[in-house]
Structure 1
Amino acid sequence: MAGLTLDTFLGLVGGEFVDVVHSPAGLDLPVVAVLIHDTSTAVQINPGDLVLGIGLRAADPDAERLLARVRPDTVLAFKVHDDAERARIRALSETHGATVLAISPEMSWDQLHSLARTSIASAAAGAPDERGVPFGDLFALANSAAAMLEGPVIIDDDRMEVIAFSSLDDPIDEIREHSILHRRPPREFMDWCESTGILPRVRQSLTPVRVVPPDGATRLVTAIRGGSDILGYLWVAESKHRLDQHSADLLAETARVAALQLLRSRMSEDLDRRLRSDLLRNALAGRANAATVQSRLGLDGVCFRLVAFVPDRPGSPPPAAPELRPLEDLVALRVGASRRRGAVTSCDGLIYATFPVDDRTPAEPARLAREITGQAHRKLHLGVRAAISGELGSAAQLAEARRAVDRLLDLPLLDESRRVLAFDDSVADAILSEITEILLERPRLLQGGLAGMVVSDRDCGTEHLASLRAFFDAGGDLTAAGRAVYVHRNTLKYRLTRIRDIFGVDLDDPAQRLVAQLQVAAFTAHPELQEELPAVPVRPH
């Protein structure tokens, strides 16, 4: 069925306002009508209907009765106010096999209803044009043009890469054969076009240009224009009959049709990118349905990694979305151009991308991340850091993977070689960062003798914390630790003895030593915690 599909509709609305709770039939469902559910009237619900559950809450009996009435190819929309409602709706939709959307309270039902009706009315993505050629099918257009012009046709994009060609029984010269096999014209032909000024003429001319290459058939070529932009090029080679003015007129007409299709294709690609971005953003927040995310992002049955990028902004708030756009476009371009397609989104001042991997490409995410940070520095004049998660097997792991890469990015940048951190190569740092996070969430775990030591430093000017940190950093080497804090090893040894006698922190006890090292890491990474400790009397142990 031609028209609006659920994935296109989601791309139009945006993931900030709508996300998928459950979709057992995928996102390629047609959306052909929008209905308002009325509990007082038994409305007929048909496949392809988008049913708005206005006034229904997850706990209402009518919500479950409505879910039980529909098939998977009907779409239900409910307002969801909190995680408890989302969990309830998800459980009901899974029980009844229903396709359900969660609508943000910030979007009014009137807005959603109006947008759905307008989208359904204007959707004609699969309708043929006046020639009978389906919109978006450039190969069909090339065949149609070849039949009219009685010569083989090739359609290139704006970078001169072949995107479609006719497949009728026409003669093939070397230029056409190379173009089809390698998706680009031969280098010698391109050099000849540039040296003779053919391509600049084509870009400037509003009518087709005749091209007579030294080693190929005569051709007509015209630019495919979208306003003032060059969208691509349309070529026809001379075959059975000489290409005349009538041929040029037909080629120009075909170029106008190709422009509409290329513009529609670009719009479709933009919507697809936006939908994939919204799905990934919701998955990172733990809101999306894992099965839908895996299917739509191409993660079914594959392993993948999450890569995060953040601009260097020491001491500054996270950048707003418009500031992130150039970097997000760069990441999307590189990820989209890679051998394996991923998804890209921005959230809270960071950019995240999924990247499928296999046994043959274990180092590809790290290589790609290094190239992106380098390009950001050279082209955008922006310092960027990146972090790569461990290997993931399910979209349900994305929220936890996000926390893991965020922790890696919170680590101090010790040197330029650590601009790209991989979880696999930074396991110790990652574990210590997560344990520190747990300590911060549970302040009682920072109590004890070491907290008293920190209070002493704060209130009395002692240097116990710095001495203990130097001792740990030096791996217990008193000479190296003393050098780090500019005291003799014996002075440092005396300080450690005082820490044991006064605060009860015995570094000869393995358990106490481990806890002390974790607490020192937390107080060092977050000096504001030192100010929050209450003054306490110090009693020798």
Structure 2
Amino acid sequence: MLLEDLVAQLGHNVRRHHAGGGHADVTSVRFFDWADVSAIGQGCLVLAIGVGDRDSARAVLAEVEQRRAAAVVFRAGVCDGGLPAGDVSILESVPDADWSHVHALARAAIQASGVRVPGVDVESDLFDLANVVATAVRGAVLVEDADKNILAYSTVEGQEIDWVRQRGILQRRVPHTEQTDEGYREVAVSPVPVRFPPLNDRHGRIAVALRAGGELLGSIWVDDVDGRSTPDALQLLSDSAELASLYILKERTRRALAASASGTTAGQLLRGSGDVASNAEWARRTATSVVVVLVPADADGPNSVHWATRARSSLNVYLSAFRQQHAVTVEDDRLYLVLGTGRERPVDSDRVVQGVAEHLRQSLRVDLIAAVGTAVHGVEEIPRSRQSADELLGLLRHRQDLPRIASYTVLASQVLLHRLGESREALRLLDDPRLQRLLDTERPSGQAYVSTLRAYLDALGDAAKAASACGVHANTVRYRVQKVQELLGVDLADPDDRLVLWLQLRLLAGEKAWRG
């Protein structure tokens, strides 16, 4: 495969730094390793993943040139200041490149470069490929990823499909049965197409695995209605698998780059830093913004591992489908979502967040805690919304009695009290000897002074209302309140005494130091 064509297939992952001495032909791709340099040969694309400075890059470049490699790819920034120009082409990765994606995409492109499927070229998509295969093999076609999600299907008129194929297309996912699971395992380990006979009310199938190197990307399935597929048709199915693998990797890389761009934008917005122009663009498109932080409700659950990374891509697709202005990033296994309300039409952020939580619950099978920060005007205020969302998340994790999806605007008072409870200075309120006398008297007397006093203060001094909350007579409340005043030497008619006692009891409840 010509290097120029491979660079085009790699798209925005790499950029050319030095063109080399000619039109190199690339036949393989390898990561650079000083312990295994003998594996690098003529026509090799070398990924110098571990090279981080110019001196090391010069040494690597001399080695790969001696071994007549086609090109070498260095990390972004390594080539700054220049490297010696020679016969080996020098490429540079984009910042934060996913090297596993670059390697898989390059390998798939090289494998597919010699494949020529009539009616299909590299600019086609999976639906075009499915239709070509369906016509040649004379059976309806499905292209699936490794998780059995349907990526594309043929639309050739007149081809029969059974109920399994029909339900899979409607649900965009293959129905689970014992037979299909066994079939997938057989296809995954076979280097050639596998034929399955008809089963009850289901057609026969022909299937081939989609791979890039050692990674299983998915599979192509053909309805084999009458078993008349010719050897030429089966060969075309095998060739098509190479192209399908390339398409899947290109789309995966495109999404990864889009997610990376969104994550960079979100990170800049959350910190109030970065490219002023992109921030200004965000400001022009939105009236107000709000930050949402999401975490699994069960942090130790089986679906909580790497959930945020998996959720980011799914969430970008979901919100883009609704044309919702957004940016997503992951920090410390928290998913941060910046939502723009839009200038042309108002956006109900609470409704959007409910939809996001439900979408992720269904797609990832994980229940979430979602904390919605304050709505702010201007990109420079977005860090303030992020701070309020983080504070609210701390409260929601601390208080299981509160909703799992909540807004700072609704729970602002509880957040502020929680902030007090986490402050060492605020906790000094609990060092009051009067409070300790109240707690010491409570235990032997059994008079429930603490719970009665809390109910009385919560009821703003309404003895009848406090009595109803405590399940006693109003006179009992009045008696206990009088005893508390005598015991502590306070006057509950004094606003300062009332405020201090109420804060002390709230702090106690928040710290779970008292369970009256």
Distance in 1 (CA, whole Å) between partners of 2:493 and 2:123 is: 73
The Cα of 1:421 is off from its aligned counterpart by: 3.2
Q: Which residue of 1 aligns with 2:438?
A: 457
CA shift in 2, pair 1:224/1:344, >3 Å: farther
Matched, 1:306 2:292: yes
- Separation (CA, whole Å) in 2 of partners of 1:225 and 1:361: 42
Aligned to 2:419: 437
Q: Residue 50 of structure 1 is aligned with which of 73, 76, 81?
A: 76
What TM-score do the two structures reach when normalised by structure 1?
A: 0.51
Report whether the alignment pairs 1:496 with 2:477: no
Question: Per the alignment, in what secondary structure is the counterpart of residue 232 of structure 1?
Answer: strand
**CA spacing shift, 1:489–1:148, aligned 2, 3 Å:** closer
Q: Is the 8 A contact 1:307 1:365 kept in 2?
A: no
Counterpart of 1:163 in structure 2 is: 152
1:284-326 CA deviation, whole Å, 9 max, x = no partner? 9859748699799x998354551423435xxxxx649x87317
- The aligned residue for residue 407 of structure 1 is 394
Which residue in 2 is equivalent to 1:245? Answer: 231
CA distance in 2, matches of 1:311, 1:503: 42
Considering only aligned residues, what root-mean-square deviation do their CA atoms show, in Å?
6.4
Shift of 1:525: 0.7
Q: Deviations over 1:482-505 (max 9, x none)?
A: 455566433432443455566575
Is this contact kept in 1: 2:291–2:336, CA < 8 A? no
Rate the CA distance shift 1:513–1:148 in 2: closer, same or farther, 3 A. same
Written as runs of structure 1 = structure 2, the 5 A alignment for 1:204-223 is 206-207=192-193, 222-223=207-208
Instruction: Report the equivalent of 1:21.
Output: none
Deviation at 1:524, TM superposition (A): 2.0
* SS of match in other structure, 1:325: coil
The answer to whether the 8 A contact 2:195-2:206 is kept is: yes
CA distance in structure 2 between the partners assigned to 1:7 and 1:489 by the alignment: 78
Amino acid at match of 1:407: G
Amino acid at match of 2:238: A
* Aligned pairs (5 A) from 1:18-417: 36=53, 50-51=76-77, 124=106, 129-131=113-115, 138=125, 142=129, 156-158=143-145, 159=148, 161-163=150-152, 173=157, 206-207=192-193, 222-226=207-211, 231-233=218-220, 244-263=230-249, 265-266=251-252, 269=255, 275=260, 286=271, 289=274, 301=285, 303=289, 305-312=291-298, 319=300, 324-325=304-305, 328=308, 335=315, 338-340=318-320, 343=328, 345=330, 347=332, 359=346, 362=349, 363-369=351-357, 385-391=369-375, 394=379, 396-397=383-384, 399-414=386-401
Q: For residue 150 of structure 2, what is the amino acid of its counterpart? A: E
Task: Give SS of 2:399's match.
Answer: coil
Change (3 A) 1:385 1:162: closer
CA distance in 1, matches of 2:359, 2:11: 38
Change (3 A) 1:344 1:120: closer
Counterpart mapping for 1:477-516 below 5 A: 477-482=462-467, 484-485=469-470, 488-497=473-482, 506-509=491-494, 513-514=498-499, 516=501
Report the AA paired with residue 352 of structure 2. E
Partner AA of 1:430 in structure 2: A
**CA 1:301–1:509: 2 relative to 1, 3 Å:** farther
Structure 1 residue 51: Cα displacement: 3.3
Contact 1:467 1:495 in 2 (8 A): yes
Verify the 8 A CA contact 1:277 1:344 in the aligned structure 2: yes
Alpha carbons of 1:154 and 1:391: their partners in 2 closer, same or farther (altered >3 Å)? farther
Q: 2: CA distance between counterparts of 1:461 and 1:243?
A: 87
Corresponding residue for residue 405 of structure 2:
421
Q: CA deviation at 1:225?
A: 3.1
Q: Where does the alignment leave 5 or more consecutive residues of structure 2 unmatched? A: 1-6, 16-47, 56-73, 82-91, 199-203, 322-326
Query: Structure 1: which amino acid aligns with 2:152?
Result: I
Structure 2 residue 457 is the aligned partner of structure 1 residue 472: yes
C-alpha offsets along residues 141-160 of structure 1, whole Å, 9 cap, x if unaligned?
73996799699996632457
State the SS of the aligned residue for 2:193: coil
Q: What is the SS of the residue equivalent to 1:157?
A: strand
CA contact (8 A) 1:344 1:352 kept: yes
Instruction: Provide the C-alpha distance between the structure 1 equivalents of 2:337 and 2:170, rounded to a whole number of angstroms.
Output: 35
Distance 1:146 1:294, change over 3 A: farther
- Structure-2 separation of matches of 1:225 and 1:50: 31
Secondary structure at the counterpart of residue 456 of structure 1: helix
Aligned with 1:338: secondary structure? helix
Residue 437 (structure 1) shift: 0.9
Contact 2:369/2:404 (8 A) holds in 1: yes
Answer whether contact 1:153 1:236 (CA < 8 A) is retained: yes
Sequence identity, in percent? 16
CA distance in 2 between counterparts of 1:372 and 1:173 reads: 36
Following superposition, the deviation at residue 397 of structure 1 comes to 4.4
Partners in 1 of 2:179 and 2:440 — Cα distance? 80
Aligned length: 403
SS at match of 1:324: coil
Query: Matches of 2:316 and 2:424 in 1, distance apart?
Result: 42
Query: Could you tell me how far apart the structure 1 residues matched to 2:422 and 2:406 are?
Result: 24
Q: Secondary structure at the match of 1:51?
A: coil
Q: Aligned partner of 1:364: which letter?
A: V
- In 2, are the aligned partners of 1:408 and 1:433 still within 8 Å (CA)? yes
Change (3 A) 1:374 1:397: same
Change (3 A) 1:494 1:268: same
